[in-house]
Chains A and B, each alone.
Chain A
Amino acid sequence: MTRRDAAAVAKPALNSEWIVRKTLFVFAMTTVLGIILVIFFVARESIPALRQVGWSNIFLSATWNPNVSNPATGHYGLLVPLAGTLAATLGGIIIGGPLAIGTAIFLTQIAPPRTGKLVVRGIELLAGIPSVIFGWIGLVVLVPMLARVTNTQGYGILAASFILGIMIIPTVTTIAKDALETVPEEYKQASFGMGATRWQTIYKVILPSAKEGLLVALILGIGRAIGETMAVQLVIGNARQFPNSLTSVTSTLTSRIVTDMGESTGAFRSALFVQGLVLLIMAMVIILLIRLVTRKTVKAA
């Protein structure tokens, strides 16, 4: 009786709800399928290079010298762009990390509501700017400026780090802000109650208890920086040498791919897919790192 009543009530809702639920399920599955297809495709396209020129030619070599007319005899070492990616990402985090986390602290602990709102709008705007715009500004404003200040060509790791530092701010600030907001108000009150100043409270109470969340914010920022392509490609110089100083030109995995992909064929093209695969693996490692960090938090809680 009651069950039938429930069914009678539920039935009219069932149709539309069923459709919505199934539609959303299909959408979700499409995303998963997309990711699987991307991994499968990139891996498959990487195989010819690994077969034709060998693992050591790619993973243990710093020589990038493709042979266009006979791709299988070229040199496709990825150590230079790998080093470039790591250096530019590290530089981006060093410049952007403190800025972004500082902004998040300001927003959650210090800013009066109206100022805070203004800053949040600004950061939202920053997140919406296409990366090629950052690259273009980097190319016509930042690079000439760095060239004057450092008395070099201006291209290189430093220019890329500045651009990446600014580009990761929205990601890191947003996540860090969420992490800081979850710190219970009682902690703060207790700290103030014991006579701590605002700075002491931030430094000794708020930051330590939001530590994991802040770490996740930084890791996501690293992920954002590693994959950035256009903005970096325009300012890094795409040279085939290791970065030996902050202002020396070099290349990153993404800039190498986008510079050479146009008319490459055979093992040359496939070697670029290997670099893409390396980027994918780096992205997966980052996700794994985040899971490790957050799992610890859950356990601690």
Chain B
Amino acid sequence: MRSGKRWILGGALLLAALLTVVGLAGCGNSSTTSDQNLTGKVSLSGSTTVLPPASEAASQFMDIHPGVQVSVQGGGSSVGITQLSQGLVDIGMSSRELKSEEQNQGFLDHKIALDVIVVVANPGMTVDDLTKDQVKGIFTGQLTNWKDVGGADAPITVVVRDKASGTREMFDEKALDSQDSTTAAIEANSNGIVRQTVASTRNAIGYISLGYLDGTVKALKYNSVEGSKDTALAKTYPLSRFLHMFTKGEPQGVVGVFIDFVLSERFQNDVVAREYIPATEL
């Protein structure tokens, strides 16, 4: 009986210790340089490519400014731009430029990142330049052997991103003219895994964001142009796009503070630079 009581006491102590730890951890979280003075609401909608960094920005921003409510929704670039022009949201997220009919509404463009995609191959491949048609043929499954594009006689292993990724969206749209990639392609859900798979699989080809390019894979020229920040900015390299946040006129109050936060050195380097070329380097 005594041991039973001791058991309960021990359990209670353990529980108390656990609660204390959890409680302290909770306190620690909310006490990071929070600014109680700013209040208000910011709403964003639009591109699913801009969604992940925007959601990350929203949660970090709300940690710093507990009085501010930031809501982020997807729906696609067109939805974001339409809702912005209707005044339903404060910020429209877009992974494409404005169409001609969308201009003249006084939208202000905040470029938050540059997205550049590079076609990469296993280092053992002899090919180092592919035309747009060759890339399209390979990734849609029409060309299945490296000898079709000037390489050795070996079957091509195609590696693509998962369907929900913005990288795949851009690649399908710009390189494949919105066709679907081959069903035989290996699918990986991050730039890192695509790079690893291409690096370790013979005869493999794939595509990754420029920020992930390293010596383990071989970057291929696209239409004889090397993918880089400079060629993308000069518009000679087509597999690139800006990620935008549009506002109606100069952003006011808390919306302006939020945009400044997204463009800040800290957020750009910590979050945006993981996938893209940060706006601070443009």
Tell whether A pairs with B: yes
Interface residues of A in 257-283 (CB under 8 A from B): 258-260, 262-265, 268
Interface residues of B in 54-98 (CB under 8 A from A): 74-76, 78-79
Q: Are B162 and A143 within 8 A (Cβ)?
A: no
Partner of B201, one of A154, A251, A264, A265: A154
Show the binding face of B for A, using Cβ within 8 Å: 1, 4-5, 7-8, 48, 51-52, 74-76, 78-79, 157, 162-166, 169, 180, 183-189, 196, 200-204
Q: Are B5 and A240 within 8 A (Cβ)?
A: no
| A-B contact list, 8 entries, CB within 8 Å | A66-B164, A140-B200, A143-B200, A147-B201, A154-B201, A249-B184, A258-B189, A260-B162
Residues of B within 8 A of A238 (CB): 162, 186-188
**A31 part of interface (Cβ distance < 8 Å):** no
CA distance A211 to B51 in the complex (A): 55
Determine the interface band of chain A, counting residues with CB < 8 A from chain B. 35 or more
Partner of B204, one of A70, A140, A153, A265: A153
Q: Are B201 and A259 within 8 A (Cβ)?
A: no
CA distance A16 to B4 in the complex (A): 6
Residues of B within 8 A of A259 (CB): 162, 187-189
Q: Are A241 and B201 within 8 A (Cβ)?
A: no
Show the binding face of A for B, using Cβ within 8 Å: 12-13, 16-17, 19-20, 65-66, 68-70, 139-140, 143-144, 147, 153-155, 237-241, 248-249, 251, 258-260, 262-265, 268
Q: Which 5 A-B pairs have the closest CB atoms?
A: A16-B4, A69-B76, A238-B187, A263-B164, A240-B183
CA distance A262 to B191 in the complex (A): 13
Q: Are A155 and B164 within 8 A (Cβ)?
A: no
Q: Are B187 and A239 within 8 A (Cβ)?
A: yes
Q: Are A260 and B184 within 8 A (Cβ)?
A: no
CB-based nearest B residue for A269: B164
Residues of A within 8 A of B203 (CB): 153
Q: Are A262 and B48 within 8 A (Cβ)?
A: no
Q: Are A68 and B48 within 8 A (Cβ)?
A: yes
Q: Are A263 and B1 within 8 A (Cβ)?
A: no
Partner of B189, one of A17, A65, A262: A262
Residues of A within 8 A of B4 (CB): 13, 16-17, 20
Q: Are A144 and B200 within 8 A (Cβ)?
A: yes
CB-based nearest B residue for A234: B193
